[in-house]
Chain A
Amino acid sequence: MTGMKPYDVVVAGGGNAGLCAALSAASEAARVLLVERSPRWRRGGNSRHTRDIRYAHDAGEPWAMTAYPAPAFAEDLRSVSDPGSAPELAGPMIEESRSLPAWMERHGVRWQQPLRGSLALSTNRFFLGGGRALINTYYDTATALGVDVMYAGSVVGLDLAGDGRCRALSVEHEGRRETVETGAVVLASGGLEANRQWLRKTFGEGADNFVIRGTPDNDGSLLLNLLERGAQPVGSPDTFHGIAVDARSPSADGGIVTRVDSIPFGIVVDSTGRRFYDEGEALWPKRYAQWGRLIANRPGQIAYSIMDRQSWGSFIPSCFPPVRAGTVPELASKLGVDATAVSQTVAEFNAAVAPTQPFDHSRLDGNGTTGLTPRKSHWARPIDQAPYYGYPLRPGITFTYAGLAVDSTARVLRTGGEPFGNVFAAGELMAGNILTRGYLAGVGLTIGSVFGRIAGREAARV
Chain B
Amino acid sequence: MSEPSLLTEADRQFTICNACRFCEGICAVFPAMELRTAFEIGDVSYLANLCHDCGACLDACPFSGPHEFAIDIPALMTDARAESYERFAWPRSVWALLTRRGAPLAIFAVGFAFFLLIALATGGGDRLFRTHTGDDAFYSVVPFLWILIPALAGGLYALAVMLIGVSGFARETGAGVRPFRSLALHRRAVSDAVRLEYLKGGGGGCPYPVGDGSGTRRLLHSLVFYGFLSTFASTVAAAIEQDILGIRPPYPVLSVPVILGTIGGIGILAGGFGFLLIARRRVRTRVNAAMLRLNRGFTTLLLASTLTGLLLLVLRATPLMGILLVIHLAVLAALFATFPYGKFVHWMYRYAALVQFRMESDAEPAPQSSDHPGPQPEVLPSPSVPGAVEVSGHESSQP
A110, B56: Cα distance in complex, Å:
13
- Beta-carbon nearest neighbor of B398 in chain A: A398
Flag whether A385 is at the interface (Cβ < 8 A).
no
Q: Which A179-200 residues have a C-beta within 8 angstroms of B?
A: none
The answer to whether A117 and B203 have CB atoms under 8 Å apart is no
Residue from A48, A112, A285 in contact with B202 in the complex, judged by beta carbons closer than 8 Å? A112
The answer to whether A140 and B211 have CB atoms under 8 Å apart is yes
Q: Within 8 Å CB of A99, what residues of B?
A: none
A448, B16: Cα distance in complex, Å:
28
Q: Which B12-64 residues have a C-beta within 8 angstroms of A?
A: 15-16, 18-26, 31, 34, 37, 56-57, 59-63
CB of A436, distance to nearest CB on chain B (Å):
13
- Beta-carbon nearest neighbor of A257 in chain B: B19
- Beta-carbon nearest neighbor of A251 in chain B: B68
Flag whether A325 is at the interface (Cβ < 8 A).
no
- Beta-carbon nearest neighbor of A264 in chain B: B370
CB of B192, distance to nearest CB on chain A (Å):
17
Binds A, one of B165-173, B231-239, B301-309, B385-393: B385-393
Q: Given A69-B383, A129-B23, decide whether A80 and B393 contact each other with a Cβ distance below 8 A.
A: yes
Flag whether A304 is at the interface (Cβ < 8 A).
no
The answer to whether B204 and A439 have CB atoms under 8 Å apart is no
Q: Which A89-138 residues have a C-beta within 8 angstroms of B?
A: 108, 110-124, 126, 128-133, 136-137
Q: Within 8 Å CB of A438, what residues of B?
A: 395
Q: Within 8 Å CB of B19, what residues of A?
A: 256-259, 316-319
- Beta-carbon nearest neighbor of B373 in chain A: A284
Q: Given A255-B62, A316-B18, A439-B396, decide whether A112 and B25 contact each other with a Cβ distance below 8 A.
A: yes
CB of A136, distance to nearest CB on chain B (Å):
6
The answer to whether A72 and B383 have CB atoms under 8 Å apart is yes
A411, B132: Cα distance in complex, Å:
86
The answer to whether B60 and A129 have CB atoms under 8 Å apart is yes
CB of A239, distance to nearest CB on chain B (Å):
13
A259, B375: Cα distance in complex, Å:
20
The answer to whether A284 and B368 have CB atoms under 8 Å apart is yes
The answer to whether A118 and B373 have CB atoms under 8 Å apart is yes
Residue from B59, B211, B366, B371 in contact with A132 in the complex, judged by beta carbons closer than 8 Å? B59
Q: How many residues of A contact B (CB 8 A)?
A: 85
The answer to whether A119 and B395 have CB atoms under 8 Å apart is no
Q: Within 8 Å CB of B382, what residues of A?
A: 66
Flag whether B215 is at the interface (Cβ < 8 A).
no
Flag whether A152 is at the interface (Cβ < 8 A).
no
A66, B385: Cα distance in complex, Å:
13
A75, B366: Cα distance in complex, Å:
30
Flag whether A236 is at the interface (Cβ < 8 A).
no
A262, B366: Cα distance in complex, Å:
15
Q: Within 8 Å CB of B381, what residues of A?
A: 65-66, 119, 121-123
Flag whether B67 is at the interface (Cβ < 8 A).
yes
CB of B7, distance to nearest CB on chain A (Å):
15
Q: Within 8 Å CB of B212, what residues of A?
A: 108, 137, 140
The answer to whether B365 and A285 have CB atoms under 8 Å apart is no
CB of B73, distance to nearest CB on chain A (Å):
13
The answer to whether B20 and A255 have CB atoms under 8 Å apart is yes
Q: Within 8 Å CB of A363, what residues of B?
A: 376, 378
Q: Given A72-B383, A72-B388, A255-B63, decide whether A117 and B376 contact each other with a Cβ distance below 8 A.
A: no
Residue from A80, A129, A317 in contact with B15 in the complex, judged by beta carbons closer than 8 Å? A317
Flag whether A68 is at the interface (Cβ < 8 A).
yes
The answer to whether B394 and A131 have CB atoms under 8 Å apart is no
CB of B56, distance to nearest CB on chain A (Å):
7
Q: Within 8 Å CB of B373, what residues of A?
A: 118-119, 283-285, 362
The answer to whether A257 and B16 have CB atoms under 8 Å apart is yes
The answer to whether B372 and A46 have CB atoms under 8 Å apart is no
The answer to whether A118 and B367 have CB atoms under 8 Å apart is no
A110, B388: Cα distance in complex, Å:
27
Flag whether B174 is at the interface (Cβ < 8 A).
no
Residue from B69, B369, B389 in contact with A76 in the complex, judged by beta carbons closer than 8 Å? B389
Flag whether B397 is at the interface (Cβ < 8 A).
yes
Q: Within 8 Å CB of B176, what residues of A?
A: none
The answer to whether A41 and B383 have CB atoms under 8 Å apart is no
- Beta-carbon nearest neighbor of B65 in chain A: A41
- Beta-carbon nearest neighbor of B374 in chain A: A117
Binds B, one of A49-57, A170-178, A330-338: A49-57
1/0 per residue, CB under 8 A from B, across A21-52: the answer is 00000000000000000000110101011111
Q: Within 8 Å CB of B246, what residues of A?
A: none
The answer to whether A116 and B391 have CB atoms under 8 Å apart is no
Residue from B24, B67, B378, B394 in contact with A80 in the complex, judged by beta carbons closer than 8 Å? B394
The answer to whether B395 and A314 have CB atoms under 8 Å apart is no
Q: Within 8 Å CB of B396, what residues of A?
A: 284-285, 288-289, 439, 441
- Beta-carbon nearest neighbor of A140 in chain B: B212
Flag whether B66 is at the interface (Cβ < 8 A).
yes
A249, B89: Cα distance in complex, Å:
41
A137, B201: Cα distance in complex, Å:
14
The answer to whether B25 and A317 have CB atoms under 8 Å apart is no
A286, B370: Cα distance in complex, Å:
10
Flag whether A71 is at the interface (Cβ < 8 A).
yes
A361, B367: Cα distance in complex, Å:
11
Q: Which B255-309 residues have a C-beta within 8 angstroms of A?
A: none
Q: Within 8 Å CB of A257, what residues of B?
A: 16, 19-20, 63, 69
A439, B372: Cα distance in complex, Å:
13
Q: Within 8 Å CB of A46, what residues of B?
A: 398
- Beta-carbon nearest neighbor of B377 in chain A: A362
Flag whether B399 is at the interface (Cβ < 8 A).
yes
The answer to whether A131 and B62 have CB atoms under 8 Å apart is yes
- Beta-carbon nearest neighbor of B368 in chain A: A117
The answer to whether B20 and A243 have CB atoms under 8 Å apart is no
Q: Within 8 Å CB of B367, what residues of A?
A: 117, 313-316
Flag whether A214 is at the interface (Cβ < 8 A).
yes
The answer to whether A51 and B22 have CB atoms under 8 Å apart is yes
Q: Given A71-B383, A110-B203, A112-B24, decide whether A398 and B397 contact each other with a Cβ distance below 8 A.
A: yes
Q: Within 8 Å CB of B69, what residues of A?
A: 250, 254, 257, 319
The answer to whether B60 and A289 have CB atoms under 8 Å apart is no
Q: Within 8 Å CB of B56, what residues of A?
A: 129
Q: Which A127-168 residues have a C-beta within 8 angstroms of B?
A: 128-133, 136-137, 140
Flag whether A379 is at the interface (Cβ < 8 A).
no
Q: Within 8 Å CB of A441, what residues of B?
A: 371-372, 394, 396, 399
Q: Within 8 Å CB of B31, what residues of A?
A: 116
Q: Within 8 Å CB of A69, what residues of B?
A: 383
The answer to whether A115 and B24 have CB atoms under 8 Å apart is yes
Flag whether A67 is at the interface (Cβ < 8 A).
yes
What are 19 A-B residue pairs whose CB atoms fall within 8 Å in the complex?
A44-B62, A49-B62, A110-B204, A116-B24, A116-B34, A119-B373, A119-B375, A119-B391, A129-B204, A137-B212, A256-B22, A257-B69, A285-B393, A315-B368, A316-B19, A361-B368, A362-B373, A362-B374, A438-B395
Interface on A for B, CB 8 Å cutoff?
41-42, 44, 46, 48-52, 65-69, 71-72, 75-76, 79-80, 108, 110-124, 126, 128-133, 136-137, 140, 213-214, 241, 243, 250, 253-259, 261, 283-286, 288-289, 313-319, 321, 361-363, 398-399, 438-442, 444-445
The 9 closest A-B pairs by CB, nearest first: A112-B25, A130-B22, A117-B366, A118-B372, A129-B60, A257-B19, A441-B394, A285-B394, A76-B393
Apart from A41-B65, A110-B203, A119-B376: 10 A-B pairs, beta carbons within 8 A: A52-B372, A75-B393, A116-B365, A121-B372, A285-B373, A285-B393, A288-B370, A288-B371, A440-B393, A441-B396
